[in-house]
Structure 1
Amino acid sequence: MLAALGSGTLIGLVLGLVGGGGSILAVPLLVYVVGIRSTHLAIGTAALAVTANALASLAGHARAGTVKWPCAGVFALSGVIGAALGAEAGKAFDGKRLLMLFGLLMIGIGLSMLRKRKGAEAPDVHLDRGSAAHLLPRLIPAGLAVGLAAGFFGIGGGFLIVPGLIAATAMPMRNAIGTSLVVVAALGMTTAVSYAVSGYVDWSLSALLIGGGVAGATIGIALGRRLAGYKGLLERLFAAIVIAIGLYVALSEAR
């Protein structure tokens, strides 16, 4: 119980400090710290906790008006289809190999976080009849691809969704983060339901992760305000941690 609460607090702290990335730590924490022996049970449990945390964060972004709802709806719908397919593939995959691939994914995400983001923003972008012909061919494939990865590995996919939304629509970062939470919640719920039906969710552990996450996020947000001038440094430090954990997971399972 203490390990689960501590893990949830750490996940929430990271979310509060750097605005994302907590979900990528959930599965390794459940396996190596909490001690869940089943990779599939860890993925299902993490997915449920990620969904709850995303919905809690979405409420604040919705009040701030940073969510582009039509774009979020299309991306989420295609992502849910991908997540359902990915979750079924993940459950059929060998647990040890799945965890090794998860480690490799962490390395890739960590490296992508170190890359500088390009400008060329379109703050007024919105999906309607006039822009559908241009935006839909971009949003649908991106959502499907991200959903497959999120369902297969049981992650919220925020670090995949945000770049996907920006690449498809050129919306500003603050809008991409708010919009991504709709997709994270939809994909996390799809994965959690799929794993729960197969008995791969520990409900009590999920509750502890969510409770710890709320406390950690509160601390992280307050700390993030004080360290706002060091946000770039914090993101690079977190990227290095993600890469290091990914290397440990991949090498451990490869052995």
Structure 2
Amino acid sequence: MPGLVTSSLAAGSGGVVGVILGLVGGGGSILAVPLLTYVVGVGSPHIAIGTSALAVSVSAAGNLIPQWRAGNVKWRCAAAFSLAGVLGAMVGSTAAKAVDGQSLLALFGVVMLVVGALMLRKRRGDGDPDVRLIKRSAAVLLPWLLGIGLLVGLFSGFFGIGGGFLIVPGLMLATGMPLPMAIGTSLVAVSAFGAATAASYAASGLIDWPLAGLFILGGVLGGLAGTSLGKRLSGRKRTLSVTFAGLVILVGLYVVARGALPLLGVAT
């Protein structure tokens, strides 16, 4: 079992991610790996990624329930997208385990920079709320759902992140569904991709289960606090999103530096 300080840092880091998820509605899980690596002190980047994937999966599953009740989940579209993505996530996670840990961290930092830049863009909220994957529409929708799902799953599995920042626009591109439904539906895929990635890392003994439990617990409590605070700051969503995007970019720069310097022979 981790010591008191490590346990507190793990729960606190999970709380930070939960608060961010509650405030801005997504993207907070991108901070899980840096927090586990540089704050909690997980020595192996691969263990940090495996532990993060498990926490992200559980968090997404918990957040799925209110979205389902609100009618924002297109289950058939989610199933097709997720089935292809799980295959991609298994391939991606297997490939990642063969990559040197420091190289993987440097690449992860680059991904954070890209994610931060994408978060600065406004997303359109219009679309067709009545879109459904049925026999008549399958010929058009299914190739897009399977193709995009596979690609996003590969990416998600390789970096051990939920990939919601790609899943949401991917679902909108594949089906034309509006943003609120894409966000709700994406949680099915995030949960599935995270579970597939976590299973791959668990099979290699690359998950710290006690830390994962503490991180998840902190995330649940932080999510409740963030959701409550988010309601009070609902008129400042754009400001919050831009601020968070800036934070992701700054952390990304730090992760790139910490991951790249050892590769260049510079001590950190």
Place the TM-score, normalised by the shorter chain, in its bin.
over 0.9
> Which residue identity lines up with residue 97 of structure 1 in the other structure?
S
Mind listing any 5+ residue stretches in structure 2 that lack a counterpart?
1-6, 262-268
Which residue number in structure 2 is paired with residue 145 of structure 1?
151
Contact 2:124/2:179 (CA < 8 Å) preserved in 1? no
Displaced runs of 4 or more, over 3 A: none
Q: Provide the C-alpha distance between the structure 2 equivalents of 1:55 and 1:119, rounded to a whole number of angstroms.
A: 23
| Offset, 1:252 | 1.9
Which residue number in structure 2 is paired with residue 102 of structure 1?
108
| Offset, 1:120 | 4.7
Contact 2:125/2:180 (CA < 8 Å) preserved in 1? no
Query: Equivalent residue of 2:131, what SS?
Result: coil
The equivalent position to 1:205 in structure 2, one of 211, 236, 239, is 211
| Offset, 1:56 | 0.6
CA deviation map 1:172-206 (0-9, x unaligned): 11101110000011000000000001000000000
The equivalent position to 2:59 in structure 1, one of 49, 53, 57, is 53
Query: Equivalent residue of 2:206, what SS?
Result: coil
CA deviation map 1:81-119 (0-9, x unaligned): 000000000001110000100000010011011112235
Q: How does 1:20-169 map to 2 (within 5 A)?
A: 20-118=26-124, 120-169=126-175
The equivalent position to 2:9 in structure 1, one of 3, 6, 9, is 3
Matched, 1:182 2:188: yes
User: So what's the TM-score if we normalise by structure 1?
Assistant: 0.98
Q: Provide the C-alpha distance between the structure 2 equivalents of 1:248 and 1:32, rounded to a whole number of angstroms.
A: 10
Identity %: 58
Q: Provide the C-alpha distance between the structure 2 equivalents of 1:246 and 1:139, rounded to a whole number of angstroms.
A: 30
> Which residue identity lines up with residue 52 of structure 1 in the other structure?
V
| Count of equivalent residues | 255
| Offset, 1:167 | 1.2
Which residue number in structure 2 is paired with residue 214 of structure 1?
220
> Which residue identity lines up with residue 129 of structure 1 in the other structure?
K
CA deviation map 1:192-249 (0-9, x unaligned): 0000010000000000001100110000000000000000110011111111111110
CA deviation map 1:120-145 (0-9, x unaligned): 51111111111111111211111011
Mind listing any 5+ residue stretches in structure 1 that lack a counterpart?
none
Contact 2:125/2:179 (CA < 8 Å) preserved in 1? no
Q: Provide the C-alpha distance between the structure 1 equivalents of 2:31 and 2:52, rounded to a whole number of angstroms.
A: 9
Q: Provide the C-alpha distance between the structure 1 equivalents of 2:114 and 2:44, rounded to a whole number of angstroms.
A: 24
RMSD between aligned alpha carbons? 0.8
Query: Equivalent residue of 2:225, what SS?
Result: helix
Q: Provide the C-alpha distance between the structure 2 equivalents of 1:147 and 1:25, rounded to a whole number of angstroms.
A: 19
Matched, 1:244 2:250: yes
